[in-house]
Amino acid sequence: MISLLLASRNKKKSAELQAILSGLPVRILSLPDFPGAPEVIEDGKTFRENAAKKAVTLADWSGLLALGEDSGLCVDVLGGEPGIYSARYAGSGNDLANCEKLLEALKGVPPEKRTAAFHCTVVIASPGNKIVGVCEGKYSGTIASDLRGSFGFGYDPVFIDPSSGKRFAELEPEFKNQISHRAIALAKTKDVLRSYIDLAKSNVDK
């Protein structure tokens, strides 16, 4: 069985990634399984650059297939902010502080102008600086004027899902994991991984 290392130290994100990737014939590992893993500085200018850096770095270090993911919230009226800085928007890496800063930035902005979208880029890399696949997902909605809900993480309490009218943080994880930006990107990732596994099996059989 092929092992896949999730290049993320965010426990909630790793749990979500594992849930969406369930069913694949891969053994999923996470960075807590590797105490000596290098810290990757996310200094790219795009989600793709950050995801690729994480995947390539951890694949080369571990000798395993690695999955790097970077995602964030882009608010139209703020010119795409917080974007790649979503996790550290308020400077502390604290979800509540990030949400509160966003609500303050949108204070007085009418509902029809509070449009936004979650973006996600997933990169799969194998040892030797080889990119196996790049997959992207986007999910559009609007930003509420307060926080609500107890599920999820990040900006989920302020992001309104247009299909249900609820915040992402009010959706059961099983439902959110079928529709979100991360679900869209990982559905494509599953196809990439299946192709990679099939190729690996055919090479072994030769």
Q: Residue 18 is part of a domain; what is its CATH number? A: 3.90.950.10
For this structure, is 156 an active site residue? Answer: no
pLDDT along the chain (206 residues), means of 10: 88 86 88 91 96 96 95 98 96 93 98 97 95 97 97 97 97 95 95 89 68
Q: How far apart are alpha carbons 114 and 57 in whole angstroms?
A: 37
Residue 166 is predicted with a pLDDT of 97
Number of domains in the chain: 1
Q: How far apart are alpha carbons 113 and 152 in whole angstroms?
A: 25
Of 33, 60, 70, 191, the catalytic one is 70
Cβ neighbour number for residue 22 with a 10 Å cutoff? 9
Q: How far apart are alpha carbons 66 and 85 in whole angstroms?
A: 23
Q: The domain containing residue 51 runs over which residues?
A: 2-205
Q: How far apart are alpha carbons 135 and 80 in whole angstroms?
A: 20
This prediction has a pTM of: 0.92
Backbone angles phi, psi at 177, to 5 degrees: -70, 0
